[in-house]
Chain A
Amino acid sequence: MNNKFNIVYLLIFFIFINYSFADEKIKRIDKVSKNLRCLICQGQSVYDSQSEFALSIRDLIIKKIDEGQTDEEIYDYLKVKYGDWIIYDPKLDKNTILLWSIPLILFIFGGLLIFRKVIIIK
């Protein structure tokens, strides 16, 4: 009997483990700042860093969200000021086509190799 209840609790725990009660705005601030590189830090995002630069960028994100701007608009604004480097997730364009296509090509190539090996063994 007790065991059954424990399993139910565990299930509820796993269902809600990713659920947070923070409101939408905080979630959005976190999401945007996690995708922004803290330019004066080594390997930290704006979300992780406590440097003055990162704190200011976070203030800016809050201000822009209050002004009703979308995430894309915030990224574009910062890209103009600091360049593409500030965004962790680069968009697909002619400069990043190699970046996005090489893993795919390697994946297909590797798949073909494995496929051939399997056929040969058979």
Chain B
Amino acid sequence: MVNKKIKLFLILSSLIFIFFTFYLGLNKNNYYTTENIVYKKIENFESYEFFSNKKINFKNISPDKKYIILNIWSSWCLPCRKEHKNLTELRENIEADLIGLNYKDKFENAKSFLSELGNPYDIIIKDKNGLISIEIGAYGVPETYLINNINKKIIKKYLGPINEENIKEIQSLVNQ
């Protein structure tokens, strides 16, 4: 009798344990989380300016601006095409420089992308093999970062194309 009770207790407790393990584990969304890199500093990197091919240092970008917005884009990326008008709108209504990071792109394709849709970027930096994006902690294109330009820390990260709501949020963060 006592043995049976112990068995029942053991089975029940292990069932409850398994249930909660799965409940917590499966609810946790591990994909595309941004928490790992927000508030982290972006280490300095060196690359080339898109049009002039001049060497450029991340730490020297827009020295007079308090905030910069870094947008990773590519001409082959369809969502980038979609978000482009939002980026243009954002750039027109904000006191921050918009930096484009051209991700794994062909120069000619990127140029025709910009001449077709307009160029909202203050500076475009090349990321030929995607290593700069990894240095920043990006998953792919498009991604947008609001960065404190004084200490180079990431304030906010947006995965995927930015929308009207994101624009409002970025504006309120910059105007704080």
Report yes or no: A81 in contact with B37, Cβ–Cβ below 8 A.
yes
Range of interface residues on chain A?
A: 10 to 19
Specify which chain B residues have a CB less than 8 angstroms from the CB of A60 in the assembled complex. 131, 134
Report yes or no: B36 in contact with A52, Cβ–Cβ below 8 A.
no
Find the A residue at minimum CB distance from B103: A52
Write the nearest CB–CB distance from A67 to chain B, whole angstroms: 12
Majority SS of interface residues in chain B?
A: loop
Specify which chain B residues have a CB less than 8 angstroms from the CB of A39 in the assembled complex. 31-32, 139
- Which residue, of A52, A55, A59, A85, has the highest number of chain B Cβ atoms within 10 A? A52
Residue pairs across A and B with CB atoms within 8 Å: the count is 44
* A40 at interface, CB cutoff 8 A: yes
* B52 at interface, CB cutoff 8 A: no
Total B residues in contact with A, Cβ cutoff 8 Å: 20
Write the nearest CB–CB distance from A88 to chain B, whole angstroms: 13
* B27 at interface, CB cutoff 8 A: no
User: Residues on B close to A: CB < 8 A?
Assistant: 30-33, 35-37, 40, 103-104, 129-131, 133-135, 137, 139-141
User: Residues on A close to B: CB < 8 A?
Assistant: 39-40, 51-53, 55-57, 59-60, 63, 80-83, 85
